[in-house]
A and B are shown apart, each in its own frame.
Chain A
Amino acid sequence: MLGIVCGVLLIYARRLDVAPPALLPDEAAAIHQAESIAQTGRDLDGRRFPLFFHLHDNVWTQPLPVYVMALLRPVVGSSEAAVRVPSVVVAALDVALIYLVAARLFERGGRALLGAALLALAPLHFIHGRLASGAVYPVAFILAWLFFLAEFIRYKDSWRLFAATLSLGVGFYAHQSSVLTMPAFLALTLLTIRTLQGSWSQYGAALLGFAVPLVMLVPWFYWHYDVFRFTLGDWGLHTLANPRDGLRYSLLNWPALGRRSTIYWGFFSPSYLFFTGGEDLSGSTRQAGIFLGLTAIPLLYGVYHIITTRWSDPMWRVILIAFALAPVAAATFNEPKAAGRALGMLPLGLLIAVAGCDALMRERGRMMHAAALLVLLLMPIQFYRFYADYFTQYPQRWNAAFGQGVARE
């Protein structure tokens, strides 16, 4: 596993000063906040160790990426390239974690390695693993949740369940999208307990694990009630922020439902997943999907395989439903194909792809074996093409789109 982590660090940390060629405004704001915390213990507005950071206007951001940056700042330095190193470290951690999860699910080292390789080579993970935006952070928590949930399903220990939902609770502070994603995954956990006919104490452990990290929200919103509505609104929880109008305009509104369903549907479009990625050039090269194109074959087969064969396995059911739920939070933001908000799809989709590969390899037909092998052999080539473009043409496209310096206002 150490080898995997080192390999990912090497690939991901290469030429951080070249691509992406400039800091994004959100990255820059988070870095300034991290510097301020590291130096004074206060944010730029003077709040002492705040729970949320004010970026600009009504936009508040989750604390975890800022605090991680502040913590690592003395080690990695403060150059433009160095401030992105914490994300690289988290990305490497993601790859190690998916290895553990896949090892637990398949109980075969080869499949675990495949899972790790697929995540390491996923263009979206690579791109966001090199941005100081924090989008890559939730992946680690989702993987930790899956790991402990798989452990719980096997051993039925309440403490493992507690650890699983504790991961979700802490992950709540990882990214804006986590605010909806993590509770949705908690609901999935509770459904799993129900499927396993778990005891009340297990329900209690799950809820407690999730609630413990969220306790901090109470004093924060008590002392900063003024930001309550803005924060909720920015998280996409418009309905909670303003129940009367929110219900009417965000939830019980036919055109809004249609619009949001289209945005949600867009997150599963083949071009987004396998060919062009997100619409924003800051989170996509527009030359590769969020997954490598060839992942389509095992991913589709994996979905089919889980529905038809593994649906009775609660863990695979959770993974498939979680994959479907992962972009729901991103859909509430009203921005189509905002890849940075749906990174949770990556590990879930890739575990499904590994299941697809596994199923293809187990099929009797030689064609299936050959297809699986061909896909696996061609994937590194496809990644190399993406990787080469990322360091050569992509910075040029970036500069053409955003100009030099800080990319966007």
Chain B
Amino acid sequence: MISAMGRYRPILTAVLLGLVALVVGGRDLDRAPVYLYHDEAIYALNAHAILTTGRDLMGLRLPLFLHTFAWVPPIAIYARVLTFVFLPVTEFTTRFPGVVFFAVDVSLTYLVGRRLFKREGWAILAGVFLMLTPAHLIHARLATDHICHMPFFIAFVWLIVDYIERRRLLSLGAATTCLGLGIYGYNGAMTQTPVFLALTGALLFFALRIRTLRPYVAAGAGMALAMLPFALWLLVHPETLTDQLRSYDVSSTGQAAARSAAESLYTALTVRLDAYYNFFDPSLLFFNGDQSLLDSTREVGVFLLPIVVFLPAGAYYILTHRRTIPDLFVLIGFLVAPLGALIVGEVKASRALVMAPLAALVCARGVAALMSARSLVWRGAAVVLVAAMGLQFQTFYADYVGQYRERSSQAFEDNRDAAIASLVARADATRAPALYVSNDILLVNYSWQFYALKHRRPDLKTRMRYFDGQFDFGTAAAGSLFLSRPDSGRAGALDASGLTRVATIDNIDGHPAFAVYEK
């Protein structure tokens, strides 16, 4: 009986941690982020289209990659297809799959920690650290694909550690399969995968000193297996790769002004080197996070501040006291994690989110190191800092569901839902003959379609018409309604044409975002 309990305890703990993460990550999901961004709406619309017609918005039948503005990997969208089988389309349900990935990440990190530390407490702490990582939570709650490769990556680390300990080829093959499957989760994984595959090769050759062919074949076969669907897809849609390179502007070298090939290469390298270095900028990691308010509250870093102590402590401990191959693999993995993102030379935490679980593992090692110190000061500091993490997370979360919603309302493209609701309500009440929306409202069509889906109003889908700066308002039927920005040239033209402003829609911060006019 005890033995059975012992066998299932890790699974139970992982499930429990996952449930806690589900609650932490999913709380107030309908409130924060404040509005649905157009990328999120596009994911939901594609998912709904696949669910109802078997085709995406471009008309491709059950595609492996979906074309929006770039080619998007499938997992994020098919996860939403699955959600919409059971639940209606809302902001909450659109974002919920990300929270599930978030919870799975936490559980898997605990399992890796168990393998690494052989101590339940430190493994749970590693999972909790990942749960309390602000960037991880923020990206999980966006209905995009930023987090969808993470479970595969963490599983890869888990299986690699398993291979190092047991030398089972199956683990190695499964590890590289998981690593490869990550490309179906997030585009950034396309460049991360070669980095970690190379790291795996280096691990086999240099650290494990394997000179027989079979492990390399197993690793290669695992990767090939994962790549097979993609290769087949490329045969049919070779433009996926070229479009992708073009959409991420891979050829750009930032400030590089090429005068000769060598000079251009030199400049490109220094730009990349700087970008790599800046992935470890304390301001990004511990103080302000990403530049965009979509990806960060700007009041907290990618990690909570106490990590600034735990991370170096863990790294130091691994380098000096615990130079085991699995620990070094995790530490080196953390350091090389941003390399894949350098292909675009831009520093964005979302492109190197796999740093988060690796950092959580290193930090748990750091706490273990501090707690094993003889000095009471270090042990006390570790306890205080872990407690401080809880406090800082609470502060971050309060801001995230509070002031951040106001600060980020414009970044999330304003209160479109209320604006469309106001327009539709008035149209229903007055039986307006036509609904016009200003074409300077970026990608408003997707917000409109999402609104129609959410409110189960298929009649609205085709009712929206655009108007531009040249529009002759005299041609619009009496009673027509117009939606515009309140302070734009379009609004001026509407005023000048004698239309009546019947409603102004404010953002949550009180800033007027849209105006409804009636002819």
Q: Which residues of A come within 8 Å of B, CB atoms?
A: 254-255, 257-259, 261-262, 264-265, 268-271, 275-276, 304, 307-308, 311
Contacts and interface: CB of A to CB of B under 8 A. Distances in A.
B248 interface: no
16 contacts: A255-B287, A258-B282, A258-B301, A261-B282, A265-B282, A268-B277, A269-B274, A269-B277, A270-B270, A270-B273, A270-B277, A271-B274, A275-B273, A304-B319, A307-B320, A308-B320
A403 to B, nearest CB: 23
Given A255-B288, A269-B277, A307-B316, A275 B282 contact: no
Contacts of B277: 265, 268-271
Nearest to A273: B277
For the complex of A and B, list the 3 residue pairs with the smallest distance between their C-beta atoms, beginning with the closest: A258-B287, A261-B282, A262-B283
Interface of B: 270, 273-274, 277-278, 280-283, 286-288, 299, 301, 316, 319-320
A249 to B, nearest CB: 16
B319 A308 contact: yes
Given A254-B299, A258-B288, A307-B320, A269 B278 contact: yes
B283 A258 contact: yes
Nearest to B274: A271
A262 B280 CA distance: 10
A254 B282 contact: no
A264 B320 CA distance: 26
Contacts of A268: 277
Contacts of B288: 255, 258
Nearest to B312: A307
Contact of A271 (B270, B283, B319): B270
Contacts of B282: 258, 261-262, 264-265
B320 A262 contact: no
A271 B320 contact: no
A43 B41 CA distance: 70
B271 to A, nearest CB: 8
B441 to A, nearest CB: 31
Nearest to B319: A308
Nearest to A289: B270
Contacts of B316: 307
Contact of A311 (B274, B283, B320): B320
Contact of A261 (B274, B283, B299, B319): B283
Contacts of A276: 270
A307 B319 contact: yes
B287 A271 contact: no
Contacts of A262: 281-283
Contacts, number: 48
B199 to A, nearest CB: 18
Nearest to A307: B319
Contact of B270 (A258, A264, A275): A275
A217 B113 CA distance: 56
B283 A265 contact: yes
Given A254-B299, A307-B319, A259 B270 contact: no
Majority SS of interface residues in chain A? helix
A368 to B, nearest CB: 14
Majority SS of interface residues in chain B? helix
B377 to A, nearest CB: 13
Contacts of B320: 307-308, 311
A254 B283 contact: no
A265 B270 contact: no
Nearest to A312: B320
A261 B278 contact: no
Given A269-B277, A270-B273, 13 more contacts: A254-B299, A258-B288, A261-B281, A261-B282, A261-B287, A262-B281, A264-B282, A265-B277, A265-B278, A265-B280, A271-B270, A271-B274, A275-B270
A107 B319 CA distance: 27
Nearest to B281: A265
A257 B320 CA distance: 31
Nearest to B266: A275
Nearest to B308: A261
A265 B347 CA distance: 15
Given A255-B288, A307-B319, A270 B274 contact: yes
Contacts of B278: 265, 269
Nearest to A259: B283
Contacts of B273: 270-271, 275
A308 B319 CA distance: 6
A269 B281 CA distance: 10
A308 B328 CA distance: 13
Contacts of A270: 270, 273-274, 277
B347 to A, nearest CB: 11
A275 B255 CA distance: 15
A275 B273 CA distance: 10
Contacts of B283: 258-259, 261-262, 265
B323 to A, nearest CB: 8
A265 B287 CA distance: 13
A308 B288 CA distance: 32
Contacts of B270: 270-271, 275-276
A271 B272 CA distance: 10
A230 B44 CA distance: 59
A284 to B, nearest CB: 14
Nearest to B276: A270
Contacts of B274: 269-271
A191 to B, nearest CB: 14
A271 B255 CA distance: 13
A281 to B, nearest CB: 16
A271 B254 CA distance: 14
Contacts of A304: 319
A310 B24 CA distance: 44
A270 B342 CA distance: 15
Contacts of B281: 261-262, 265
A257 B287 contact: yes
Contacts of B280: 265
A276 B269 CA distance: 12
Contacts of A311: 320
Contacts of A258: 282-283, 287-288, 301
A394 B277 CA distance: 27
A276 B280 CA distance: 20
A264 B283 CA distance: 10
A262 B283 CA distance: 6
Contacts of A257: 287
A304 B315 CA distance: 11
A275 B271 CA distance: 10
Nearest to A276: B270
A255 B288 CA distance: 7
Nearest to B320: A308
A173 B273 CA distance: 37
B322 to A, nearest CB: 12
Nearest to A255: B288
